[in-house]
């Protein structure tokens, strides 16, 4: 399918100032001295509505290989909650800055480029992937950049994320924006999509192949919604797990082969001590859950891959229901970090437990190409205005958000806009 061709931004008049209101557009390429941002400070670590506060801060300076991006919209992810809470680590323990701007997803416009940046120019419309590295070690030059000792996540392990009018990123973080999507749709997908892509395609020899059965936890969420679509696109069979019955149709509509409601079983949490009555009760329930999988895949057909991210509550079951020689791949621990499992089923059945962390540029670009080619739905569920960024995170923190992915507006004045000219015209109104 032909991709949407980029068009340059037409000239326009705008005043030169040191600070602009949210939604007000500076002259193309003019970098003001200050900007509005939702900032976190160490002394107010806590829930998002306490941790995130509006501040006026300096616009970041870019280095030779960096790019300054005018943020049009940003995505809401769980690491914004972690940054506010200071858990599992405080971002200040890593970057040491005075304040932290969260946000690891964005769509926007290249506003300034470092003197060694070759691939991008002022005015380019982009989405941003969140992996950074220094680029000068063996892993970055022939290996896997996600294994680099300098690897870090922009917006969590760096102080300058997307919940501000401007953000500075490495030039290698930029990818073309899908022109058929709105600014907010473009902003909601990169982190979760690229993470799901690496989990399913990035760990040889357990890459997703046609005909494979994959159990997807949190199938209606950001990660899960892309996992279902990727599995379906690759010819695999996705078995989605949900926690609320009203999410069943959404997950089936994404292409899942079947859906299981985990509320119908009682085998969640840390593994009871092996060979106790409590373990026997747990095992009975876990086997019932396994039978529910067989009702979808066929008797005796355990899943080839378990797509894990809840962690503590689900990990014992994940390692049990995975097939012999299969893989449990995990990228988070949203229900807790103390994962337990019965190791007998790991070594006797030669299963693999694989940690997975975001994606490198080639993987993120491969995933983005699927979006550019309109093969995937961004599954954007809700959009919040700039003033409600903490409330959007509170909704996710309390698990009250709708299925799919959430976005927030930054410089885009309203929803539904697809071009900079549309945003400029709306800002004048």
Average pLDDT over residues 255-269: 97
Average pLDDT over residues 225-253: 96
Rounded CA separation 112/195 (Å): 28
Q: What is the rounded average pLDDT for all residues in the chain? A: 96
Residue 3 pLDDT grade (very low, low, confident, very high; cuts 50, 70, 90): low
pTM: 0.94
Which tokens sit at 25? 């557009």
Which tokens sit at 116? 């060694």
Q: Which of 10-14, 185-189, 418-422 has the highest mean pLDDT?
A: 185-189
Provide the 3-class DSSP secondary structure of residue 85: helix
- Report pLDDT for 376: 96
pLDDT surpasses 80 at 109: yes
Average pLDDT over residues 111-134: 97
**Cβ proximity of 279 and 257 under 8 Å:** no
Average pLDDT over residues 209-229: 96
- Report pLDDT for 7: 79
Rounded CA separation 423/213 (Å): 44
Question: Pick from 228, 240, 265: which is nearest to 248 by CA?
Answer: 240
Residues forming beta bridges with residue 35, ordered by sequence position: 57
Residue 405 pLDDT grade (very low, low, confident, very high; cuts 50, 70, 90): very high
pLDDT, tens digit, 9 for 90 and up, residues 317-348: 999 999 999 999 999 998 999 999 999 999 99
What sign does the CA torsion over 276, 306, 195, 245 have? negative
HSE-CB for 352 with a 13 A CA cutoff: 16
Contacts of 64 (CB under 8 A, 6+ apart): 114, 115, 116, 117
Q: H or E segment at 216?
A: strand 213-216
pLDDT, tens digit, 9 for 90 and up, residues 272-304: 999 999 999 999 999 999 999 999 999 999 999
pLDDT, tens digit, 9 for 90 and up, residues 49-79: 999 999 999 999 999 999 999 999 999 998 9
- Report pLDDT for 401: 86
């Amino acid at each position: 399918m032909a991709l949407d061709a980029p068009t340059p931004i037409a000239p326009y008049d705008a005043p030169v100032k040191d600070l602009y209101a949210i939604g007000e557009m500076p002259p193309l390429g003019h970098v003001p001295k200050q900007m509005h941002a939702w900032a976190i400070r160490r002394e107010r670590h806590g829930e998002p509505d306490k941790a995130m506060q509006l501040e006026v801060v300096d616009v970041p300076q870019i280095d030779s290989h960096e790019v300054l991006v005018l943020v049009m919209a940003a995505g809401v992810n769980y690491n914004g909650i972690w940054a506010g809470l200071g858990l599992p680590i405080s971002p200040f323990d890593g970057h040491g800055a005075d304040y932290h701007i969260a946000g690891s997803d964005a769509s926007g416009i290249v506003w300034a480029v470092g003197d060694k940046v070759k691939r991008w120019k002022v005015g380019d419309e982009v989405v941003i992937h969140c992996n950074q590295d220094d680029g000068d070690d063996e892993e970055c030059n022939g290996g896997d950049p996600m294994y680099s000792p300098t690897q870090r996540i922009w917006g969590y392990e760096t102080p300058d994320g997307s919940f501000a009018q401007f953000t500075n990123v490495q030039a290698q973080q930029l990818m073309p924006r899908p022109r058929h999507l709105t600014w907010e749709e473009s902003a909601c997908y990169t982190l979760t999509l690229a993470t799901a892509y690496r989990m399913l395609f990035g760990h040889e020899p357990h890459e997703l192949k046609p005909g494979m059965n994959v159990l997807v936890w949190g199938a209606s969420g950001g990660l899960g919604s892309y996992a279902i679509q990727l599995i379906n696109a690759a010819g695999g069979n996705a078995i989605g797990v949900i926690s609320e019955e009203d999410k069943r149709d959404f997950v089936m509509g994404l292409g899942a082969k079947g859906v299981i409601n985990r509320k119908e079983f009682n085998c969640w949490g840390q593994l009871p001590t092996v060979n106790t009555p409590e373990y026997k009760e747990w095992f009975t329930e876990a086997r019932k859950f396994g039978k529910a999988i067989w009702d979808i895949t066929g008797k005796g057909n355990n899943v080839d891959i378990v797509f894990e991210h809840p962690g503590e509550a689900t990990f014992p079951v994940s390692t049990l229901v995975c097939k012999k020689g299969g893989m449990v791949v995990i990228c988070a621990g949203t229900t807790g970090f103390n994962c337990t499992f019965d190791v007998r089923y790991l070594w006797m059945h030669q299963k693999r437990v694989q940690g997975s962390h975001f994606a490198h540029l080639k993987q993120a670009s491969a995933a983005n190409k699927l979006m550019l080619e309109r093969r995937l739905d961004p599954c954007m569920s809700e959009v919040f205005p700039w003033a409600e960024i903490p409330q959007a995170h509170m909704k996710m923190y309390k698990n009250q958000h709708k299925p799919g992915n959430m976005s927030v507006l930054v410089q885009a004045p309203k929803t539904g806009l697809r071009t900079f000219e549309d945003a400029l015209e709306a800002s004048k109104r």
